[in-house]
A and B are shown apart, each in its own frame.
Chain A
Amino acid sequence: MLRIRNLDAGYGSLTVLRRVSIHVKPGEIVAIVGANGAGKSTLLKTIVGLVRPRAGEVLFEGTDVSRTPTEAIVRAGCSLVPEGRQVFADMTVWENLLLGAHVQRGKGGRAGLQADLDRICGLFPVLAERRRQLAGTLSGGEQQMLAMGRALMAHPRLLMLDEPSMGLAPLIVRDIFDIVVRISAAGSTVLLVEQNARSALKVAHRGYVLETGTITMQGTSEELLANRDVQRAYLGKDANEESERGAP
């Protein structure tokens, strides 16, 4: 579905990603974990064309999209739920969802649009309740659901999620990851990027560890969860923080 080879990317004189290679097979949930600033968001932005790669290939369903405009990539079936949700705050929940359906215009007609809205509301009942509310007045978890619903309106074959758990209460994080599993079961392939490595790897089939712009480890989720280095660096984070806090 997605194959990235030797990707270099960055902003201005800053190189963020160095020779990154990953792949995602149809039907998989793949997690990319790593610390803040490792380049996880840049990777997803490069895939969807918001950042241009310096070198390397991004193959989406066999086609090189590394020079393709974002609009065409989304149309081809690759959607990103960006970091920080990026909902249209001063527009209603309903309008946000309609805008998500932009690349589907003319495909399913009015009936298709209604079916899509019903499908999203089945997945996120709270969005139906709040359809007339401005997106900016929603809670963080609801905004995350809206951003996911908006992306799903485009019928993505590959759904990419950037830090879906950021800033959310643990219970909401669990809901969001449950929904990720349901989206995957409904036929979308999922690539997700998370600092919350434990939650991400629990739902994922495979994972990659990204450190300062380079893939340092990869494997099945079970392998990564059992790996000592991963445990020390990403899963035992809380214990480390506490020992630091205890020090003078």
Chain B
Amino acid sequence: MTGALAIQYLVAGLTYGTIYAVVGMGFNIIYNTTGIINFAQGEFVMLGGMIAVSLHAILPLPLAIAGAVLATMVVGALIELVFIHWLSRPTVLRMIIVTIGISILIREVALLIWGHNVRVLPYFTGNEISAIDLLGARISPQVLWVVAVCAAMVALTTAFFQWTMLGRQMRACASNQVGAAVCGLPIRRLVTLSFVLSAGMGALAGCVVCPITYTQYGMGTGLAIKGFTVAILGGLGNSLGAVAAGLLLGIIESFTVSQLPTAFKDTVSIAILLGVLLLRPSGLFGARVATRA
């Protein structure tokens, strides 16, 4: 493999890796405030892309994207209010089944609305054939959009959780439910907010990748598996771990494609998921997860 080709694969890997990282962070945000693994996480990405494509028919691109993100946030809030809110002390198994059910529901509704056709947004800058030269490899400007937007999202959410009072309250819920309750924190509203935030992140990621990866009603399942792998690999609840694990998984996948038939791509991430669950269930960087009692 030549140097330029290696860079080409590396960049492709980073592109997918940032998406996985954002989906992984979405898992973490909800897990952190509620202890729930939301398997409908991938559907947020799909909805973001789909709604943006539909809105783009009548609105300019930035407005269409903003609208798609807001609409998906509303969906996130509705999911929490309709399906999660009234369950008191749900078991883990019950929550997994509920969120898988939600994910199937969203997928089927999407199939009804948009059909099984692949949808696509235009490139944000340039077009399909414009490219930037990087050490001999040719990089689409949309890749830079994906990486920049996802990096900004990761930085902003990290800052939000670290420095704002609302972010601290959400971390407090995750850290100790009884403690949060006796501080008088509005736990129910914080849980709803975690779904809204996580839906918004997924939707924005869905919009920026849409021009490259296209959007189809069923894309959420695959992303949920990848995002879950990344969340576990990075240590559940550890957002920066998820970012590192996301990039790692993207790059591994990308180089797998260069060496093995493309069909093996998903096999690799599932093999990694199984391997991590068997050998190191707290993840590569999962020391912090032990604090969740």
Contacts and interface: CB of A to CB of B under 8 A. Distances in A.
Interface of A: 48, 50, 70-75, 79-82, 86-91, 95, 98-100, 102-103, 105, 136, 147, 150-151, 154
Contact of A99 (B183, B186, B293): B183
A50 B178 contact: yes
B182 A89 contact: no
A91 B182 contact: no
Interface of B: 165, 168-169, 171-172, 175-176, 178-187, 288, 291, 293
A180 to B, nearest CB: 17
B184 A90 contact: no
Contacts of A82: 178-179, 182
B167 to A, nearest CB: 10
Contact of A87 (B165, B169, B179): B179
Contacts, number: 73
Given A89-B291, A98-B165, A150 B183 contact: yes
24 contacts: A48-B182, A50-B182, A70-B181, A70-B184, A71-B187, A74-B183, A81-B182, A82-B182, A88-B171, A88-B179, A89-B176, A89-B293, A90-B175, A90-B288, A90-B291, A91-B168, A91-B171, A91-B175, A95-B172, A98-B168, A99-B185, A102-B185, A147-B179, A154-B183
A100 B183 contact: yes
B182 A74 contact: yes
A199 to B, nearest CB: 23
Contact of A102 (B169, B178, B293): B169
B187 to A, nearest CB: 8
A73 B169 CA distance: 18
A71 B288 contact: no
A86 B184 contact: no
A26 to B, nearest CB: 21
The 4 nearest A-B residue pairs measured at CB:
A74-B184, A86-B179, A88-B175, A103-B184
A86 B176 contact: yes
Contacts of B187: 71
A81 B176 CA distance: 13
Contacts of A105: 165
Contact of B181 (A50, A147, A151): A50
Contacts of B180: 88, 99
